[in-house]
Amino acid sequence: MSDFPTKARVVIIGGGIVGTSSLYHLAKKGWTDCVLLEKNELTAGSTWHAAGNVPTFSTSWSIMNMQRYSTELYSGLAEEVDYPMNYHQTGSIRLAHTKERMQEFERACSMGRYQGIEMEIWTPEQAKENYPFLETHDLEGVLWDPSDGDIDPAQVTQALAKGARDMGAKILRFTPATGVTQKDDKTWIVHTEKGDIECDYVVNAGGYYAQRIGEMFKPYGGRTVPMMVMEHQYLLTEQIPEIEAHVKETGKKLPLIRDVDVSYYLRQEKNGYNLGPYEPNCKAHWVDADDAMPEDFSFQLWQEDLDRIEDIMVDAMARVPLMETSGVSSVINGPIPYAPDGLPLIGPMPGVENAFEACVFTFGIAQGGGAGKVMAEWIVDGHTEWDMWSVDPRRYTDYTDQDYCNQKGMEVYGNEYAMHFPRHEWPAGRDKKLSPVHEMTKAKGAVFGVYNGWERANWFAQDGDDTSLEATHTWGRSGPWTQRIKEECEAVRDGVGVLDLPGFSRFNLEGEGAAEWLRGMVTGGLPKAGRMNLVYFSDDRGRILTEMSCMRHAEDHFTMITAGTAQWHDFELLKNDLPAGLSLTDHTTEWGTMIVTGPKTRELFEGLGTEADLTSGWLTHQDAVVAGTPCRLVRVSFAGELGWEVHCLNENQAALYTAITDAGAKPFGMYALDSLRLEKGYRAWKGDLSTDYSLLEGGLGRFVKLDKPQDFRGKAAIQAEKQQGIKKGFVTLIVDAGDTDAPYMSCIWKDGEIVGETTSGGWGYRVNASIALGMVRADLATPGTELEVEIYGEKCRAVVQEDQPIWDPANERLRA
């Protein structure tokens, strides 16, 4: 083929809406020498049979951003690329049956308002006025989203493809990728039956085939793509005269209905209805050898199964009785891919340099426009405008075997519209990673949560406490855990507490020149041997990439410790820039960590017969023997009290934990730790610490050394920002909250204007107050400023605190 491209900057594998959107956005950024490969025709996979709904609603800030961008892109795309499209922004009425659902709506409405989406809370009567066929007698209220609607999936995909082609990008249909080869310089050769294409970057946009495509990358450090495939069906009714008459009378389509407490959407389709249920008794496909994924399922569907959705159909007909007047004209039942949390994979391919993923989209039409923007930013700029950790493929690590993916995919599908309460832990796919003392903590009443696959105690129940899942179905602060968290915090305040903390990400860095290389990676300085400190990594914009604890053993020997969820993200941050001669190894699964903290901690260790130097100061570490067991004592405490982290090999942890608890330390959990760290103003990764903020905005200037000779990443941007001044400032707030504390991304108001957002919040049991950490307009980040924090629709008075911890502001207890 004379026109077959043998070279390209980027090769995208997959021709659905996400692949074409990625190609379009790369071309928009000037990368026009890119190629998309599609094994069949464009839209042949999930895009072909998608219903085409385009909501903006989400309780995830980043997902809402992405979906909002899609609506803005689609509204002008037809004119921009000169391609006709059917895009109807009818608005949607989202129904609430309970007070808790209304609270969720209030939160989403607030987030939408911040992003410029004019969502509104309506009464049932207002819903009836705008949708005369709707039964509203049993509703608490509704959420109105004027930007919601539907689009023809094939048309929008073809429009994006036309736009990309017009800018010079190439699309090769009926050209499946048959393999990839990575060259020594980390560039790629993508193999097809028509020839090879050399390129700098490869993108897996394979939809429900993404796992199969991912296998090509395993020889170069890849892993099995964490996903499964669900059977999703929706039905179309025959035409209904009353709908046709309504359209003629009003000149517009009916709004889309989402009855999220029953789990379906109902949309006008021509002059009939499209009913799309997410049924609890759902069905997975291609999950075992008897039901293997075919080589090609293009433009194919499965047999309908209306019995499975009968209950939802009956409920929808009661909600809109007009449905009963029409029969079913057709049923569409096709494959939809699911990641374990229902969110797509967009970003760097874990373990593989110069490869990316833009796949496993459950709501690909709604998210496709924004996904293409995000993908192009990752490739061209090396970062994204919005922090997109919620969809970063590296959020999953080695616990996501196929059994886990199947269990979680089924769970997510069956609970597609479920509320994600702050104390609720989903039960499927559990016990993938267990601490050596898991059974001990379980016997003491531990109620567990999952952190990067590891089971950690959230709180410790006593006999008679309600530990049911139903008890967690609340946005409120109070529950069976409240008194127990209070008692755990008080034990840390007054005595000694112990927290088993499995899964701390732990990397060993050594080799001649390691210190000098690390100085050029971090924004600040390094500790001396025998000491540790926090180090920060920024991106090119001076924004916060990550935080690590840096423990120095010798001139060129370090242990880097970071958040459990950051394991693959942070390891790659170090590995991808690692020079020859240095060694970086991951020891996360070999070591355990316990936080032992409280004013009587020193006495406890003395009673256990340790020969360690217990007078050693804050931020020191030493090898020690405690109760006859070797370990490393690290003089830090995320709880903000006198204490140590006790690091030991897994085989030694049971003996240590037994000795420490037998000596009187009270077990405490992650909920108590979160409360304790808020009182100290300690930041949490991907909440308070994210690429949405610069280090200077985050109040981390003391960890930046602009006068050091090393040209660390982001140095120029931080210098410029320091000269120009920050736009936002980090604050700690005391909030006059009611029964609920401020969740992530609650709006902060001043004089009727949104001036910032919370990044985390909770109750401080030592200071007996509701605390929020957040970012506000820089001129308002001064102590004593009165603001308002919007918590589930209620504006609560909040006061900016001094730039110091609320609890033990001089750190006297911490350094005791």
Distance CA 415, CA 260 (A): 10
| CB-based burial label for 56 (10 Å; 0-12, 13-18, 19+) | buried
β-pairing verdict for 7-13 and 34-37: parallel
Q: Is the pLDDT of residue 1 over 70?
A: no
Of 420, 354, 413, the closest CA to residue 390 belongs to 420
Is 114:754 a contact under the CB 8 Å cutoff? yes
Edge-to-edge order in the sheet of strand 497-500: 621-626, 629-634, 643-649, 591-597, 497-500, 666-667
Angle at 589 between CA 584 and CA 591, to 5 degrees: 90
Q: Output the pLDDT for position 2.
A: 63
Kindly give the interhelix angle for 17-28 and 153-166, rounded to the nearest 10 degrees: 30
pLDDT digits (tens, 9 = 90+) for 162-210: 999 999 999 999 999 999 999 999 999 999 999 999 999 999 999 999 9
Q: Output the pLDDT for position 291.
A: 86
DSSP sequence for 232-243? EEEEEEPP-HHH
Q: What is the mean pLDDT of residues 292-321?
A: 93
- Decide: helix, strand or coil at residue 366: helix
DSSP sequence for 239-257? P-HHHHHHHHHHSSPPPEE
Q: pTM score > 0.75 for this model?
A: yes
> Which tokens in the block code for residue 415?
């609970």
Distance CA 84, CA 90 (A): 18
Residue 192 CA neighbour count, 13 Å, CB half: 25
Question: How many CB atoms within 10 Å of residue 82?
Answer: 10
pLDDT digits (tens, 9 = 90+) for 652-701: 999 999 999 999 999 999 999 999 999 999 999 999 999 999 999 999 99
Is 386:41 a contact under the CB 8 Å cutoff? no
Distance CA 21, CA 14 (A): 11
Is 548:636 a contact under the CB 8 Å cutoff? no
What contacts 24+ positions apart, CB below 8 Å, involve 780-787? 780/729, 780/731, 780/750, 780/755, 780/756, 781/728, 781/729, 781/730, 781/731, 785/750, 787/733, 787/748, 787/749, 787/750, 787/755, 787/756
CA separation, residue 394 to residues 200, 260, 559, 572 (Å): 21, 30, 21, 9
pLDDT band at 288 (very low <50, low <70, confident <90, very high): confident
> Which tokens in the block code for residue 714?
């982001």
Is 117:67 a contact under the CB 8 Å cutoff? no
pLDDT digits (tens, 9 = 90+) for 237-273: 999 999 999 999 999 999 999 999 999 999 999 999 9
Least confident among 206-210, 306-310, 484-488, 751-755: 306-310
Q: Tokens 């004019």 — which residue?
A: 118
pLDDT band at 611 (very low <50, low <70, confident <90, very high): confident
Of 742, 733, 718, the closest CA to residue 775 belongs to 733
pLDDT digits (tens, 9 = 90+) for 331-381: 999 999 999 999 999 999 999 999 999 999 999 999 999 999 999 999 999
pLDDT digits (tens, 9 = 90+) for 53-107: 999 999 999 999 999 999 999 999 999 999 999 999 999 999 999 999 999 999 9
pLDDT digits (tens, 9 = 90+) for 561-583: 999 999 999 999 999 999 999 99
- Decide: helix, strand or coil at residue 317: helix
Q: What is the mean pLDDT of residues 611-628?
A: 95
Q: What is the mean pLDDT of residues 106-118?
A: 96
Q: What is the mean pLDDT of residues 600-624?
A: 95
Least confident among 45-49, 130-134, 227-231, 462-466: 45-49
Distance CA 200, CA 379 (A): 10
β-pairing verdict for 7-13 and 150-151: unpaired
- In this structure, what DSSP letter does residue 677 have? H
pLDDT digits (tens, 9 = 90+) for 755-812: 999 999 999 999 999 999 999 999 999 999 999 999 999 999 999 999 999 999 999 9
DSSP sequence for 95-134? EE-SHHHHHHHHHHHHHHHHTT---EEE-HHHHHHH-TT-
Q: Output the pLDDT for position 289.
A: 82
- Beta-bridge partners for 332: 234
